[in-house]
Amino acid sequence: MRTGAREERATPRGYSAATRAANAVNSARTSPLERESLTLRILLAEDVAMVRGALVALIELEPDLKVVAAIENGADIVPTALACQPDIAIIDVDLPGLDGLTAAEKLHHELPSCRTLILTNLGRSGTLRRALAAHAFGYMLKAAPPEQLAMAIRNIAAGRRVIDPALALTTWDSAQNPLSAREHEVLRRAAEGSDPTEIAAALHLSVGTVRNYLTTIVSKLNARNRVDAIKTAYEAGWLP
């Protein structure tokens, strides 16, 4: 009888052998199929092969993250994403074929379930504004500590925005692009190396009108000349 009493006290009321067995099953490791369903699928777009390989290796150290595509050309982002259905796309800003921000915007419209993390060297407020306008959920600098990348991916998957705090504050305090859409187009073509005659022909304007636009642009950006205006616009992120 004393033995039975000890056994009764050692086993809490309602905690049967069946309950213990069920708890053991629930605490066991999930099946491969269940683990696959819990894994975040990542598309990575980075044109530098060594950096791309390092990022893939870094991401796949995490048991809940899987790189399903690693590409180098921005024009391949949307078709690849439609084929492999990633949860998160990590996109560099400077890509051949199609720049990362334009690709991010196209991806948002074609596959809105896929959230975008912009990963770049460009710590410029204007580029961050463009990224947010392209519906990016995150903007991370490549100089960030490696352990922050996995955390950023998980936060974005959970619907939380991830933006470098210092850059966000700088963006909040910085001025908006003062150029009109036409002035921006003229400056963009000038930055690509077109002279006023070529710009005039492309935009169906007179050469005099183009020169007037360039003068206005230099004035609005408080620049010394056209070259300085282009530099200012690049640094502010107003030119890709």
* Domains of the chain in sequence order: 32-172 (3.40.50.2300), 181-236 (1.10.10.10)
Neighbour order of strands in the sheet with 115-120 = 65-71, 40-45, 88-91, 115-120, 138-141, 162-163
Question: What is the pLDDT confidence band of residue 215, given thresholds at 50, 70 and 90?
Answer: very high
Angle at 158 between CA 152 and CA 163, to 5 degrees: 35
- Contacts of residue 88, defined as CB under 8 A and 6 or more positions apart, other chains included, come to 40, 41, 42, 43, 114, 115, 116, 117, 153, 156, 157
Q: What is the pTM of this model?
A: 0.63
Say what the pLDDT of residue 168 is: 61
Neighbouring C-beta atoms of residue 233, cutoff 10 Å: 22
Residue type, 175: A
CA-CA distance, 70 to 86, in Å (whole number)? 11
Whose tokens are 């039975």? That residue is 4
Cα distances (Å, whole numbers) of residue 187 to 81, 122, 173:
33, 20, 24
CA-CA distance, 112 to 101, in Å (whole number)? 15
Say what the pLDDT of residue 240 is: 66
- What does the pLDDT look like over 20-70, one tens digit per residue? 344 444 434 444 444 455 799 999 999 999 999 999 999 999 999 999 999
- What does the pLDDT look like over 133-182, one tens digit per residue? 889 999 988 888 888 999 999 999 999 999 876 666 555 545 577 889 89
- Contacts of residue 161, defined as CB under 8 A and 6 or more positions apart, other chains included, come to 137, 138, 155
